[in-house]
Amino acid sequence: MITVENVLDALAGVRDPEIDEPLTDLGFVDRVSVDGKSVDVHLRLPTFFCAPNFAYLMVADAMKAVQALPEVDDVTVTLDDHFASDEINGATATGGGFDEAFPGESVGELGELRDLFTRKAFTARQSRVCDAQLRAGRTVEELAAARLGALKGDPNLTRCIELRTQLGIDASPDSPAFVLADGSALDAAGLARFVRVARLVRLSLEGNAGLCRSLLATRYGIPDPEEAVR
């Protein structure tokens, strides 16, 4: 039997492509109801004008994730309170792409955009791991020579490895611990530069996540989480 918890678990595997955090953690899942083999999910976003491309990706990904649950026959995912709700809901309900949601677009599908933001997410995640190692007293030279398998005990590592795999970057224990977002190797000087630049990527991403959380809280009158940027 399908339960609301099963559905929420499935939705926890769907991330905001820009922020790289689960929809369930961001508060984007408004409600879930289950009736026999039918599942009804309502999503909500921080603003009326949140980028329709990312909104579309989240609705489509949520649809796919719930459809993949065993025993589920019928799924509706509805994005509420968005300027393009009708277009996005219509297209995802029929399995259409972004093109169908916004006919006349010449931009095609959103694979390239998703890839770009997966790489940014990887950069930001790796930056957290790297900064933690530096704070623990390891040098840039040591880290440039380190192997992925030798790093332990950082919760960001799991996501780093997931993202590497997703991007087709070697994630075996013998691979370099730190690489550029396109998978290329870093020497000590390169890693020192990476540390500085990746912090900017992380700042954008974490700042954006914080702003999204609190705008959502304001919009829907839910408690505002505390500032999370380090």
Partner 1 sequence: MYEKDGEQYFIVDAHIAFWDARPENRNRLGEGFIKCFYDYHRNLGPAEYLWPFEEKFVRYTEEDLMHDMFEVGYVDHAIFQPVYLGDFYKNGFHTPEMVAPIAERHPGLFTVNGTFDPRFGKKDLAHLESLHEQYGIKGVKLYTAEWKGDSRGWKLDSPEAARCLEKCQELGITNIHVHKGPTVWPLDRDAFDVADVDGAATNFPELNFIVEHVGLPRLEDFCWIATQEPNVYAGLAVANAFIHTRPRYFAQIIGELLYWLNEDRILFSSDYAIWQPKWLVEQFVGFQIPEDMQSELGVLTTDVKKKILGLNAAALYDLDVPAELDLVRDDAGSAAVGSEPLSPA
Q: Which residues bind partner 1 (CB under 8 A)?
A: 18, 46-53, 83-84, 102, 104-105, 107, 110, 113, 116, 119-120, 123, 181, 193, 196-201, 203-208, 210-211, 214-215, 217-219, 224, 227, 229-230
**34/51 with CB nearer partner 1:** 51
Are 60 and 41 in contact, with CB atoms under 8 Å apart?
no
Would you state the torsion angle of the CA atoms of residues 64, 122, 207, 42, taken in this order, to the nearest 10 degrees?
A: 10
CB nearer partner 1, residue 70 or residue 111: 111
Please report how close the Cβ of residue 227 comes to partner 1 at its closest, in angstroms.
5
Whether 77 contacts 43, CB under 8 Å: yes
Burial of 227 (0-12, 13-18, 19+ CB in 10 A): exposed
What is the bridge-based pairing of β-strands 74-79 and 38-43? parallel
CB closer to partner 1, 129 vs 201: 201
If the CB atoms of residues 53 and 89 are measured against partner 1, the closer one turns out to be 53
CA separation for the pair 178, 44 (Å, rounded): 36
User: E strand or H helix at 136, and its extent?
Assistant: none
To partner 1, the closest distance from the beta carbon of 73 in angstroms equals 35
Q: Is 53:88 a contact under the CB 8 Å cutoff? A: no
- Using the minimum distance from each CB to partner 1, give the nearer residue, 54 or 62: 54
**From the CB of 173, what's the least distance to partner 1, in Å?**
25
Q: Computed from CA positions of residues 138, 141, 142, 143, in that sequence, does the dihedral angle turn out positive or negative?
A: positive
- Token digits of residue 157: 């590592």
Distance of closest approach, residue 103 Cβ to partner 1, in angstroms = 10
Residue 161 CB, shortest distance to partner 1, in Å, is 19
